[in-house]
Structure 1
C-alpha cells in the first residue's frame, strides 16, 4: 500500500479539529452523534466492540468448518483419483492433500483481498482526510485501536473490512462523506466488530475457494440459461451460419451447463450453508454488538440507505462478503444461495430492538 493509505497517525488527526472538507466541527462524544441514551439501551461501556475481544459464535464456527471443507476436498478428490492411477497409498495422500488445500486457501486469501482493493482507485485530498478523521473519531470515542483506512473512489454505500496478516484495514468509499455522524459511526463500528471477532479473518481465509465455486456455479447457470437469438439485427455469435442458425445447438449448452452444475453441487451446498452461517451470521453478530452500544436505529438507517442507494456496481465483488452492506448482484446472490431477504431481516431485528 502507498503511504496515503497507511495507518493513521493519531497525532495528525485530532478529533476536535475542524473538518478540512466542509469546515464543520465534529465532536468525539458518542452521545452527541446519536450515541447511547437511556432510550437506546446499554451504554457504550457495556458493549464488546471496544472492550473484551469476542471470538466467533458457535454458528459461525460451524460455518467455518463447512467452508474449510471446500478447499480441503477440492484438492483431496483429484489427488485421491490420481493416487489410484499411480498406486500411492490413500492414507498418505488424503491428509497431505487436505493440509495443502487449507494452507493454500489461507495463504492466497489475503492476496486476493489485497489485489481486489488495489484495483479500486485510492483518493487523496480533503475528502480522504475528512473520512480518515471521522474513522479516527469513531475508534477513539469507543476505545478501539485506530485502524488502517483506505479511501477509494467508489459510489457504493458500505464499508469493507479487510483482515490482512498484520491488522484490519477499513475500505471506505468516498461517497460516505455525505453520511451524517450517526449512520457513519454505526457502519464503522459494524466493520470493526467483525474484525475484532476474527470473522473477517476467517472469511478471508476461505475466500479463494468460495470464489472458485461461485464462478463455476455462475458459468454453469449461464450455459443452462443460454438461448439462441431470434433477432436478426443482433450480431451473429461465433460459430453461427449466415442464416443465423448456430453450429452449436442449444441442447449442447444445456447439457454442458447441467453436467457442470451437477459436478459442482456438493461444493455448492457447502458454500451456501457455510456462507449463511459464517458470513451472514458474522454480520448479524456485528449487528448485535453495535446495537448493544445503542446504535441500533442508526445502523438500521445505514443498512436501508446502502440497500436503496445506487452504486452497487462500484464495489469489488471479491470483498462483498467483507462489507457491512452486501453489494452483490442477483446472479451472484443466487450462486451463494442468499438474497435481499437477509438484509430485510437484519433491518427488522434492529428496528424491533431485538437483534439477537
Structure 2
C-alpha cells in the first residue's frame, strides 16, 4: 500500500518517457466490447497485443465470485494459457513477469490498486495529480481502460477543469480527452458535441476531431456544427484568432478532396462537400487559386449516380462566387472558368436528356431561368434550401 502511495505522490518519479508516444486506437475494439458486453463473444478475435493492456481488469474480473462472467472468463483463460504453451518446449517459467518497461509496471500496479482499493482513491484528486506528472495522461488512460465505469466520471472532471490549453496541465487535459476519444470512438460524436456547446472548449473539440476522428466521422462532425452559422464553433472560426484551427480543418478537407480526385472516386462524399461549402459560406474560408482548382475538380466529378448530391454540387458552384468569376473585375485578363466546371456542365446536360434524371433536370431548369432573368431573390432562397445554410446571397 505504501509503495503505491509513494508512486502516486512522487511528482519527480524517474519516468523518462518524454519521447514515448502511445497509440490508444488499437485498444478501442476491446474497450468497446467491455462497454457493450460483447467481450466474451469476441475474445477470439483479439490479438495478444490488444489484450495485454487490459490484464489487470481481466484477471480481477475472472476471480471475483459475484461476477456473472467468472466461469466464462476462467474457462477462456485456461484455454488461452494452454494455447500459449508449446508442448515441444520446456514449460517452466524462465521469463520474469516483470518487464523492464517502467510505464507498464506502474500502469498495472495503479490499475490493480484502483480496482481493488477504490475507497482510498479520490478520482478527482487522482486525475489532477496525474495531469501534473510526466505521461500521467497515459497512466490515467490505462486505468480507465481497465475500469470502464470511470470513463464518464473522468470525462466530466476534465470538462470542468478551467485552464488554458497552452498551460502544461491544459495540454495534458487535451491529450487525455483525445485518448478517451481513441478508446471509445463510438461515442466520440456525443463527447465532441458536448464540448462544442462550450465557448471555452469548442476550438479544442475541432482540433481533436481533426486529429482523431476518421474521415467520415470528421466530415459528419463538421456538417453538424457548421451548416448553421449561429453555432459557437462557426462563430469562433470566423475570428482571426482561430486561424490555426481553420488551417488544420481546411488542410484535412483539401487532402480528402485531393485523394478523391486522384482516385477518380465515384462515391458522392456529400458530407465532405457540405463541410467545405459551409466552411466558406459561414466561416469565411479563403480559397487560393490552387484550392479553387482542386475543389472544382472534386465538386465536378462525373459518373455519380446520386441526384441529390449532383444538385448540391450545382448549388455549391453558384453559391461560391470564386468558382465562376473570382477576380473577374480586377484581373488584367478576362476570367476563364475552370475546365472541370465547363466539362461537368456539358456532362450534366447529356445526363438530363430524356427523363432519366428528373430531379437534376428540374434543378438545372430552375437555376437557368433564375440566372437568365436575374431572379436573385428566388435563386438565393433555393440555394439556401439546398445547401441548408442560414442564408445564401449571390450577386
TM class by smaller structure: under 0.3
Instruction: Name the TM-score, length of structure 1 as normaliser.
Output: 0.20
Instruction: Name the TM-score, length of structure 2 as normaliser.
Output: 0.18
Of the two, which has the highest radius of gyration? 2
Relative contact order higher in (CA < 8 Å, ≥ 6 apart): 1
Name the structure where helix makes up a greater proportion of residues. 2
Name the structure where strand makes up a greater proportion of residues. 1
